[in-house]
Amino acid sequence: MFSPSHPLQMFFGLIVWSAWFVSLYGGLGVVCKLAPPSPDQGVMTWVNALVLVLGMALSLFLLFCARRCWAVRSAAQCLSARERDNQRFIASAAAGVYLVGAFATLAVALPAVMLAPCV
Amino acid sequence: MKPDQMTDPLIQSNQERHRTFDRVWGNLPGWRALSAVNHTTIGLRFIVTGFMFFLVGGLLAMLIRTQLALPEQDIVGIELYNQLFTMHGTVMMFLFAIPVLEGMAMYLIPKMIGARDLVFPRLSALGYYCYLFGGLIILSSLVMNIAPDTGWFMYTPLSSANYSPGPGSDFWLLGITFVEISALSAGVELVVSILRTRTRGMALSKMPVFCWYILAMALMIIFGFPPLILGSILLELERAAGMVFFEVAGGGDPLLWQHLFWLFGHPEVYILFLPAAGIVSTLIPVFAQHPLVGYRWIVVGIILMGFLSFGLWVHHMFTVGIPQLALSFFSVASMLVAIPTGIQVFAWLATLWAGRVVFHLPMLWILGFIVIFVNGGLTGVMLALVPFDWQVHDTHFVVAHMHYVLVGGMLFPMVAGLYYWLPHVSGRMPSDTLGRWGFWLVFIGFNLTFLIMHLTGLLGMPRRIYTYEAEMGWGWLNLISSIGGFVMAIGVAAVILDIALHFRFGKRATLNPWNADTLEWAMPMPVPTYNFASLPTVETRHPMWENTDLPQTIASGQHGLAEIQHNRRDTWGSDAITGKVREIINLPSNSWIPLQCAVAIGVLCISLLVKAYLVAVLSTVAAVFLLLRWSWHNGGHPSVTPLREDDPTDPPLHSRTFDGPGLWGMVVSLMANGTLYLSLLFGWFYLWTASPLWTVPENGPLALMPLVASGVLLTLAVLLYGRGLTRLRKRNADRLGSMFWLVSLLGAAHVLLLLWILLDAPLQPTQTAHDAVLTVMVLYQLIHSGLAVILTALQAVRLRLGYVSAQIPYEPVVIGPFWLYTLGVFWMSFAAFVLLPMAWGGS
């Protein structure tokens, strides 16, 4: 399952993105209910900071995963041509998904640079 | 065998083999064809029925356009107009678009992957009848002039009992839920079929690209439909039983409905687009005579679209008062979806660029699709911008955008596909002249109607108004739109006429008439019921281009499973990734059970509509009985695959294995079920955080210690069942029957205790949303636990009768995940509904 050519790798990047997206929206709802930062603080709140830091950390993680999958394309010389072809297909598709996943993760966090959390 | 088939050279030269196959795989004659389960028949029934509903939806659209053609008209009146636009949207979305695309997928998938049928044929038949009966129930409301009239998305509180006291909303909620059984069954069926029944050698990377699209669509149905099913159940419970979910005074929130609806509604757009894009990706390489450029990137695009489309639902709710930062998440996600769309559009253009395009009729519709869909996509990006959306929300601009995306993104490719695969069904070619007239009339009429409507919307005309004053200045624009609508209708009539006439006058199609590359063209035309007389090995994406004598070698039985044994309907079961053959899947034959089940569920639906609750209870019992009878005729049952001395061993029959398609079907079904449960959890947390009058009682209404005891009993039952399965996996079935009886007893004790807790609890579901959601959760648990007990008891009986044994271990393995799921739901609910409220200060 942790192998870069496991079929689940083709979806894992976006599963991470989905979890991030749901946590972002749900978490913001909970924070705004329980401990809303003052609107006077504008974007300089711990919520904005947390969103940006977590967004960047997750994006870096996904980029790392993308690189790991991409590297598999040239490996696995011991396999038959058919199996190698199969593995390359999965690994390179997974790398693409991770790459877009990393971009999407950062993209949805970026508005925290200019918007206050609970207004 | 159909008379037309007799003339096909592939059949003429292999008549004896084809007669044998047709006897085993064919439908029963006359009215007994209602018992058919064959994917070709069921797929075509879906398509034909869907187009019948399309004509009804189109007629409603024409009435709407007639009413709006000139200002201050009173042709249909305000009440009927409300019913017309509600039913137009409902019919087109739920009764036409999804079912027809599902029908096409059901028809094509086995033929493309080299299988003889879908993996759960009886489920296909059940899905069709649920769709047909549900659709007729919804339409009957229109005939009786009591149709729903609150818009196709049924917003509360307008659709609640206070503001819609008539039965219109009930028809929608119950009818649509009935129809959605069909969509979910198709979703499960298609996922498992694509993953587990591909022919020998067809690895994931060699799968026709259409199958990737359908796989994504089917998975999106699995995750996208349950929120709406839950929402419909809750709203119907509120309307019929007075329980509180969406009423603010009791701690509910009408916005919860919008969330649940659009959690389904937005992915729905992509559920429609993906198969249509699959048709485009299939047809463009054929008419460019060049392999699809960027197959791998298209697969990435499909996966991206499948996921990202679930992050857009709030962009239908930009005006309801959500914090700006939260809005921006959805705004960005809405723009991100342009990435996978762009990947596909560029891959299509590159393929066209690289090949030599032949402009046959289907290709014309594909070009129409590209023009219209790209425009619809651009206005979609405009609407993803929050300030722009605020300006045009609920205007005709949105109506125009939606039709550009849906008609351009779905109807045009669908008609292209229809023309492309028509020779498959009829063995004849469509008329080029009449077909081109049809295309141009539809294309011009469509743009006349909806391009203008962007302007009408920008000038401020709201949607869903039945008339407008002449002074508003929208009159001439509406007149053009209405004229365009009628031109489009004439175009549709030309297409229908063309298709109808071609069955009689069309030129006879030659083998593989478009010189296509995929496997569905390697069979006689019209297609036989069994698809392939022998199942070929396929290790390329273009089998028909690289192996041109496939039709002959398949028909003459030179490949796998060329002989029929014991009148079984056999097809390969293969590895989900590599396509290596793992087992022989034995498929069920014609059966009345799906029709009987659908009738019982239909009676349940009607009895709820007329509030005949005793009949509702009786029909529920009948439906459960019939569904259990369905499960009884499986595996080692004498009418299916009893143990025989000449049973194949390499590969074995699927009922002799531990990882058959039933297990996959169960897991995929539980994914849908789990989404429904998570939607309920979402509702619970949403009301807690967002509902202004949400209250939690001082003391938890459920007795804590008995609840824990009930959970312990359930846990013991699951552990014991797991132990039984471990022994079975070691091919040891000694005393397994006793173990299963003990599991059933423990489970029954858990159910009874939980039932007592529910009946003893001071719950007031008609007073507070807290108690209403809690009641639904406990009922959900009781249904699952009760079903697990019954299924296990049945397995114990089957063990005694010899239908389950160490050699036939299939069914207990299938039930295993259901027990685990039931246990997981119990303890997760315990944490969310009992422990968490204690922590947040309620009980």
**Tell me, what DSSP letter sits at residue B117?**
S
- pTM reported for the whole predicted model: 0.95
pLDDT (0 to 100) of residue A78 = 67
Q: Cα separation of B448 and B622, whole Å? A: 52
For the cut 70, the answer to whether the pLDDT of residue A52 exceeds it is yes
Residue B368 lies in a domain: no
CA of A78: how far to CAs of A69, B203, B302, B540, in Å?
18, 19, 31, 22
Best to test chain B binding among A90, A113, A114, A119 (most B CBs inside 10 Å): A90
Q: Which helix (H) or strand (E) covers residue B586, if one does?
A: strand B581-587
Q: Cα separation of A67 and A71, whole Å? A: 6
The structural domain count of chain B equals 1
- Residue closest to B631 by CA, chosen among B676, B666, B604: B666
Q: Cα separation of B404 and B381, whole Å? A: 13
Does the beta-carbon distance from B203 to A26 stay under 8 Å? Answer: no
Residue extents of the structural domains in chain A: 44-119
Residue B19 lies in a domain: no
Residue B473 lies in a domain: no
The secondary structure of B543-608 as a DSSP string is HHHH-TTHHHHHHTT-SBS-S--TT-EEEEEE-TTT--EEEEEEEP---SHHHHHHHHHHHHHHHH
Beta bridge partners of B649: B652
Cβ atoms of B383 and B392 closer than 8 Å? yes
pLDDT (0 to 100) of residue A76 = 58
Does the beta-carbon distance from A89 to B307 stay under 8 Å? Answer: no
Q: Cα separation of B44 and B50, whole Å? A: 10
Q: Give the type of residue at A114.
A: M
Residue B519 lies in a domain: no
Q: Residue B81: CB partners within 8 Å, gap ≥ 6?
A: B64, B67, B466
pLDDT (0 to 100) of residue A58 = 96
State pLDDT tens for residues B116-161: 999 999 999 999 999 999 999 999 999 999 999 999 999 999 999 9
Place of tokens 């489009």: B488
Does the beta-carbon distance from A104 to B333 stay under 8 Å? Answer: yes
Cβ atoms of B297 and B343 closer than 8 Å? yes
Best to test chain A binding among B219, B253, B266, B303 (most A CBs inside 10 Å): B303
CA of B408: how far to CAs of B212, B411, B413, B488, B592, in Å?
21, 6, 8, 13, 39
DSSP tally for chain A: helices H, then strands E:
3, 0
Q: Residue B186: CB partners within 8 Å, gap ≥ 6?
A: B102, B105, B106, B124, B127, B218, B221
Q: Residue B709: CB partners within 8 Å, gap ≥ 6?
A: B753
Collapsing DSSP states into helix, strand and coil, what is residue B27? coil
Q: Give the type of residue at B606.
A: I
Q: Residue B290 class from Cβ within 10 Å (0-12 exposed, 13-18 middle, 19+ buried)?
A: middle
**Tell me, what DSSP letter sits at residue B411?**
I
How many Å lie between the alpha carbon of B63 and the closest alpha carbon of chain A? 42
Q: Give the type of residue at B335.
A: M
Spell out, as residue ranges, where chain B has pLDDT lower than 50: 843
State pLDDT tens for residues B498-536: 999 999 999 999 999 999 999 999 998 889 999 999 999
For residue B740, the domain's CATH number is 1.20.120
Does the beta-carbon distance from B326 to A29 stay under 8 Å? Answer: yes
Best to test chain A binding among B220, B307, B537, B685 (most A CBs inside 10 Å): B307
pLDDT (0 to 100) of residue B18 = 86
Q: Cα separation of B427 and B429, whole Å? A: 7
pLDDT (0 to 100) of residue B645 = 83
Residue B225 lies in a domain: no
Cross-chain CB nearest to A93 (options B203, B299, B340): B299
- Reading the block at residue B773, the tokens are 């959601």
- Residue closest to B2 by CA, chosen among B420, B428, B416, B418: B428
Residue B813 lies in a domain: yes
Residue B840 lies in a domain: yes
The secondary structure of B446-481 as a DSSP string is HHHHHHHHHHHHHTTPBTT-S---GGGS-HHHHHHH
H helix runs in B633-703, sequence order: 661-690
Q: Which helix (H) or strand (E) covers residue B587, if one does?
A: strand B581-587
Residue B350 lies in a domain: no
Cβ atoms of B311 and B317 closer than 8 Å? no
Does the beta-carbon distance from B323 to A119 stay under 8 Å? Answer: yes
pLDDT (0 to 100) of residue B365 = 96
pLDDT (0 to 100) of residue A1 = 65
Range(s) of the domain holding residue B742: 695-843
B840 touches chain A (CB under 8 A): no
